[in-house]
Structure 1
């Protein structure tokens, strides 16, 4: 009969596995923090060697935890997007007037880009392996557009209109801002200054909202209080 004391301990094995998984997660986080810092300071072309040195680990550990550079880059993009969305999500909940809400959203987004141009270029470059942008970047852009779409749909429905335009309107606005900013950044933040670009984007967004909402019977102006759009429908 086997000696119970000599049998492998499931509890011990599980504890060792949990410690190892925790160590791996800590190392991965350490590497991602180092990668974001390296890109923020030196640009998107930073090498794995520099990232490993900043993280204080051998380069072989980076590849063991992430597989290859494309896998590492996608996880870095997810980390950058998380940082951006932490800043952006609160200002997508409109307050004050329509103009105020648009100003906060545009200024927050452009402010983050001006402070972190290398991070934004890294996101815009997408995956080297794929012809299109990365899945994480596409999903983040879609999430923002869908949140804006729900706001438009809510307002239109409260005022008795058909909300069919809400989604194309939201995705069109997000695409306009994204493409305009990417082109501006690609030209070295020229020919407009950041403040000038912010102001024209705000005007374009407000004017587009005013015209689109008027088409479905909702009267919107730049000075319209948000509560009038998303509060109880007028009787």
Structure 2
């Protein structure tokens, strides 16, 4: 109970922070066990509680049921992956070619280095979603939307027609994720990780270049993207390059 000198709101805020910290601790314990277990294994709540150093009853006070916990785990992984991809998609750092390669490589690295977590994300939804779509589909939608925002903001800066880019982000994201998943499941792949990443970056560039040319833009993928944008803006305004 709060003391006479402690406002109820302050007490509740501290309780919520403690609650959130405990939930994260439980989720992180579950992630460790998924990584260590056989692919597709269902991890009992008792094992998760033991790894977290808590009683099983404490876990059930933090989460409604096992499905609620599984959804929270997927949300945690979705947010983690989104942070990685947001950093890779930083358009202020690198050429377009470098941005494409490092973004696709970050997906390939995570999906292969954390194959059991990647498979777990396919098995159900996050707690962000009530439509029942799996977490990988949610990730594709989220990254497509981020990419869409980046491309359309650049098109707006250049006063260019954004229509050719309308479905491009989702098409590229779907191609990359589907190809990487197929490659990762192949027991005898003919290409290593670096090769498949480079191929996908090349395919993504072909699609992006085609859409850019449809909008009247010619982009050099080997020049820093911020420089390309400055050059295109200058050319469109008639200013000297």
Shift of 1:34: 0.3
| Gaps in structure 2 of 5+ consecutive residues | none
Shift of 1:190: 3.5
Look up the match of 2:33. Answer: 38
Look up the match of 1:112. Answer: 110
Q: Is the 8 A contact 1:44 1:119 kept in 2?
A: no
- Structure 1 residues 194-203 or 156-165, which shifts more? 156-165
Shift of 1:23: 4.0
Q: Describe the SS at the equivalent of 1:197.
A: helix
Look up the match of 1:205. Answer: 204
Look up the match of 2:146. Answer: 147
Partners in 1 of 2:21 and 2:97 — Cα distance?
43
Alignment partner of 1:76 is 2:73:
yes
Shift of 1:105: 1.1
Look up the match of 2:61. Answer: 64
Q: Is the 8 A contact 2:100 2:204 kept in 1?
A: yes
Q: 1:116 to 1:220 in 2, by over 3 A?
A: same
Q: Describe the SS at the equivalent of 1:161.
A: coil
Q: Describe the SS at the equivalent of 2:167.
A: helix
Q: Which has the higher helix share?
A: 1
After TM superposition, the score normalised by the length of structure 2 is 0.80
Partners in 1 of 2:220 and 2:12 — Cα distance?
60
Partners in 2 of 1:32 and 1:39 — Cα distance?
11
**Deviations 1:98-150, CA, capped at 9 Å, x for gaps:** 2111112112221222221111111122239975314xx55543332222122
- Structure 1 residues 210-219 or 186-195, which shifts more? 186-195
> What are the within-5 Å matches in structure 2 for residues 128-207 of structure 1?
132-134=133-135, 138-188=137-187, 190-207=189-206
Partners in 2 of 1:211 and 1:9 — Cα distance?
66
Look up the match of 1:55. Answer: 52
Larger C-alpha radius of gyration, 1 or 2?
1
- Structure 1 residues 139-148 or 68-77, which shifts more? 139-148
Shift of 1:97: 1.8
Look up the match of 1:121. Answer: 119
Look up the match of 1:4. Answer: none
After TM superposition, the score normalised by the length of structure 1 is 0.81
Q: CA RMSD in A?
A: 2.9
| Gaps in structure 1 of 5+ consecutive residues | 1-7
Partners in 1 of 2:152 and 2:228 — Cα distance?
11
